[in-house]
Amino acid sequence: MKFIPGNGGNGFGASFCILGVVQQCLLATAWAQENHAEMVQVSEKASQVHRQSYVFDGHNDLPWVIRSDGSRSFEVIDISRDQPEMHTDIPRLRAGGVGAQYWSVYVPANTAASGKSHQMTIEQIEIVQAMCEKYPDIFRLCLNYEDILKARTEQKIASLIGVEGGHSIENSLEKLRRLFNMGARYMTLTHSETLDWADSCSDEAKSDGLSEFGKEVVREMNRLGMLVDISHVSPQTMQAALDTSEAPVIFSHSSARSVADHPRNVPDEILKQMPKNGGVVMVNFFSGFVVAESAENTKDMFERGCALRAKYGDDEEAIRKEMAAFRAKKPILPGTIHDLVDHIDHIAKVAGVDHVGIGSDYDGVSVLPKGLEDVSTYPAITQILLDRGYSEADIHKIMSGNILRVIRESETVAKWLQAK
Ligand SMILES: [Zn+2]
């Protein structure tokens, strides 16, 4: 639900965002207990196919939840135990066959105004580091392709760090390099607000894509070996990044715009360019981006949120009241896991099966399709892909192979650029 400008959530401040997640999760968990088994029966065959490989997910917001609860500590939220009010915990990561994860070190875009973005991003990186230290038998912090292979050999969850929004570098290549040195391995060029150098899909354009400095940022990321993530950016910025980047790019958590018309999703003319670039579109599970009718309502809600913020400023209570009434009229319908697989199908058709992956956005969104309630549900995707005629090899590419290829290629490009 991090798609309305001005804060970390839906236009109402981070606390409401998390409260929303909690409420939705409780509902989702109750639903899962009652209906999950009926939604998709995972056969022994599908289970076997799923476990022969593993899930490498492009985006999970657990670190922000750990920050938002006020503790920033895994002593308070012990994820080795069931955490039914969240989407993510270790038992469910294991049940879902998650073998690698980009943990998002998101901080709201409006922290840039007070000069806190960079510092807060570093604190979020420290949360991921603390998680790997607290559960050393479960997670291994990974900085490169070799590390990921090692983590897999040790049967640990390869844990990588993704920065969500170029505001975190505060217009400084030096700060970009610092984040890389601290372990960040992708950066989404923008979040919900347009920057001085890159345009967001949910804000006014300033640079018609990327400014000269924006192109410099992309080139420096190529040189470092940091993936250029073009989720959240405008189509012009997607195009500019594709034209500038020498390495494959990623969409860490975006779905297909032809299936559900929302600006956060990827248009076909961009999808068609993925084979040439070599990158991967990792599908977002949020019902507001996945289900066509919900995408319409999410867009309307976004515009309404912006208008209310302009009208009421910081009066969260007034905004909350009007938005609740608006939501009641135009709800985000959850849809089902089949709606999500429609996005995978479309991207596989238009971009090719070598260019689609998984980027759930778990613990960052409020409404999820039925059958995809939490990180334990990925095997059901494998089941539906088998039902739709995908080969085992193609399923493994979608689950992890494609993003692994992108990481390896980006490291090759970085070495080549550094030698130049
Ligand atoms: Zn996001």
Per domain, the residue ranges of the chain are 14-419
CA–CA separation, 415 and 144 (whole Å): 12
What is the topology classification, in CATH, of domain 14-419? TIM Barrel (3.20.20)
Q: How confident is the model at residue 65 (pLDDT cuts 50, 70, 90)?
A: very high
Query: Which residues have CB atoms below 5 A from the ion given as ligand 1?
Result: 2
Candidate from 31-45, 157-171, 200-214, 371-385 with smallest mean pLDDT: 31-45
251 near 232, Cβ under 8 Å?
no
What whole-number percentage of the chain has pLDDT above 70?
91
pLDDT at 71: 81
Hey, how many other C-beta atoms are within 10 angstroms of the C-beta on 123? 15
212 C-alpha to center of ligand 1: Å?
25
pLDDT at 10: 32
164 C-alpha to center of ligand 1: Å?
7
Judge whether residue 100 has pLDDT over 60: yes
Higher-confidence residue of 26 and 8: namely 26
252 C-alpha to center of ligand 1: Å?
8
Q: How confident is the model at residue 306 (pLDDT cuts 50, 70, 90)?
A: confident
45 C-alpha to center of ligand 1: Å?
34
Higher-confidence residue of 205 and 7: namely 205
361 C-alpha to center of ligand 1: Å?
7
247 C-alpha to center of ligand 1: Å?
22
59 C-alpha to center of ligand 1: Å?
8
232 C-alpha to center of ligand 1: Å?
7
Q: How confident is the model at residue 38 (pLDDT cuts 50, 70, 90)?
A: low
CA–CA separation, 105 and 179 (whole Å): 11
Task: Give the mean pLDDT of 224-251.
Answer: 98
228 C-alpha to center of ligand 1: Å?
14
Write out the catalytic residue numbers. 59, 61, 164, 191, 232, 253, 361
Higher-confidence residue of 21 and 333: namely 333
pLDDT at 72: 83
> Rounded to the nearest 5°, which phi and psi values hold at 112?
-65, -35
pLDDT at 12: 27
pLDDT at 33: 44
Mean predicted lDDT score pLDDT of the chain: 91
Judge whether residue 23 has pLDDT over 90: no
Going by C-beta distance under 8 Å and a sequence separation of 6 or more, which residues neighbour residue 8?
Answer: 2, 14, 17, 64, 106, 107, 108
Q: What is the pTM of this model?
A: 0.91
Higher-confidence residue of 14 and 90: namely 90
61 C-alpha to center of ligand 1: Å?
9
Q: Helix 212-224 to helix 402-419 angle, to the nearest 10 degrees?
A: 100
Q: What is the pLDDT of residues 76-87, one digit of tens each?
A: 999 999 999 999
Tokens representing 48? Answer: 């076997």
261 C-alpha to center of ligand 1: Å?
17
